[in-house]
């Protein structure tokens, strides 16, 4: 059965997926979003890196939670960053856009524990919930606006459009440490994807 939204131009092509790349293969790391972990054990995200450092014969990556990174950058302060062995750090890179695949059955969702999984975008309309999650806004010129967080669930705007409000990640984290409500942008659901 044809998709009536696709025929009307209401849906858009998905943004590029997030593809983890070993930090040892990456160039500059300062400010880049990273994952840390151990193959076969698990992964932790929402972290930012600084440049690699060498101590003795080992290479390490200073890594801090994103909230601390944004605060340190905004307020120009020093923060403690634990050193993580470079082989345990993966950089979030943007891959090539491709077709959106459904969540499928349980078997189709299985991943290897040898590396962090690729994260394909999910249309906001298909997401279980949005508030606090990383989102990508598709722009009319075909570009993408990243480093944003949804601050509402889907709702009907004053114009009758289905949309959600988003803010920059800096303002999202500043809201947490200062209590100052962020500036927001109302984005139509057909232009909004979970990262």
How many domains is the chain partitioned into structurally?
2
Q: What is the pTM of this model?
A: 0.85
Question: Residue 34 class from Cβ within 10 Å (0-12 exposed, 13-18 middle, 19+ buried)?
Answer: buried
**Rounded distance between C-alpha atoms, residue 51 and residue 31, angstroms:** 9
Q: At what angle do helices 169-178 and 66-75 cross, to 10 degrees?
A: 90
The answer to the question of residue 150 being in a domain is: yes
pLDDT one-digit tens code per residue, 41-93:
999 999 999 999 999 999 999 999 999 999 999 999 999 999 999 999 999 99
In a domain, 78, yes or no: yes
- Pair (81, 139) in one structural domain: no
- Write out the residue range of the structural domain in which residue 139 sits: 121-194
Domain of 177, CATH number, reads 2.30.30
Tokens standing for residue 48:
């930012």
101 found inside a domain: no
- Residue 102 domain-assigned (yes or no): no
Residue where a domain terminates, one of 94, 129, 144 = 94
């Amino acid at each position: 059965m044809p998709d009536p939204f696709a025929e009307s131009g209401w849906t858009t092509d998905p943004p590029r997926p997030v593809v983890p790349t070993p930090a040892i293969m990456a160039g500059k790391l300062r400010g880049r979003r990273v994952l840390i972990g151990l193959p076969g054990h698990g992964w932790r995200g929402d972290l930012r890196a600084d440049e690699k450092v060498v101590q003795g014969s080992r290479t390490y990556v200073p890594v801090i939670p994103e909230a601390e990174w944004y605060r340190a950058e905004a307020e120009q302060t020093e923060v403690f960053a634990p050193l993580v062995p470079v082989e345990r750090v993966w950089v979030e890179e943007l891959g090539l856009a491709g077709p959106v695949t459904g969540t499928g059955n349980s078997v189709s969702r299985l991943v290897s524990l040898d590396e962090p999984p690729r994260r394909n975008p999910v249309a906001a309309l298909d997401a279980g919930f949005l508030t606090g999650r990383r989102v990508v806004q598709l722009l009319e010129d075909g570009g993408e606006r990243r480093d944003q967080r949804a601050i509402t669930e889907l709702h009907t705007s004053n114009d009758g459009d289905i949309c959600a409000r988003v803010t920059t990640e800096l303002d999202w984290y500043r809201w947490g440490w200062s209590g100052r409500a962020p500036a927001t942008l109302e984005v139509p659901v057909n232009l909004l994807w979970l990262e």
